[in-house]
Copies of this chain bind each other. A is one copy, B any other.
Amino acid sequence: MRLSAKGEYGVRAMVHLALHYRDGPIPLSKIAVDENISRQYLEQIFLSLRRSGLISSVRGVKGGYSLASPPGEIFLGDIIRVLDGPITPVNCLSKEIREEELPSCGRGERCLARSVWEKLRDHINQLLDNISLQDMIECKIDQM
């Protein structure tokens, strides 16, 4: 039950952008240094985030990245799903996997564990989909 480094880096980088929202684009190299993340690895992460529409970029000197929407409209679930794929405790719950590819547990609806995994999945998603970057920079998490 661990988040990947990619997801963790992504969230930290997005918080960084949130803190500088309206300061104009922030160069990736600055974020990489401040957050202690390899520049080239962070480029991969930002490539995904940009393609998914969560951030936008400006090229050239004085360019950089900025949030595509206000911090209050971007949720942790969005970020993590883009970087790590669907948030699900076991593969067989993921809708993106087609029936044929299902792991060989072959138990279908008979699986007593299934409803637990579904509940766990829904819990995690609901939590992450209700925490915005704004909540984070305002330190509202503890009161949630």
Contact = CB atoms under 8 A, between A and B. Distances in A.
A43 interface: no
A88 B11 CA distance: 16
B123 A91 contact: no
Interface of A: 1-3, 8, 11-12, 15, 35-36, 76, 80, 84, 87-91, 104-106, 111-113, 115-117, 119-120, 123-124, 127-128, 131, 136-137, 139, 141-142, 144
Contacts of A136: 112-113, 116
Given A90-B8, A113-B8, A128-B120, A1 B84 contact: yes
Contact of A1 (B2, B11, B12, B15): B2
A38 B11 CA distance: 38
A119 B139 CA distance: 12
Given A1-B88, A90-B2, A139 B115 contact: yes
Most chain B CB within a 10 A radius of its CB, from A12, A117, A120: A120
Contacts of A11: 113, 116
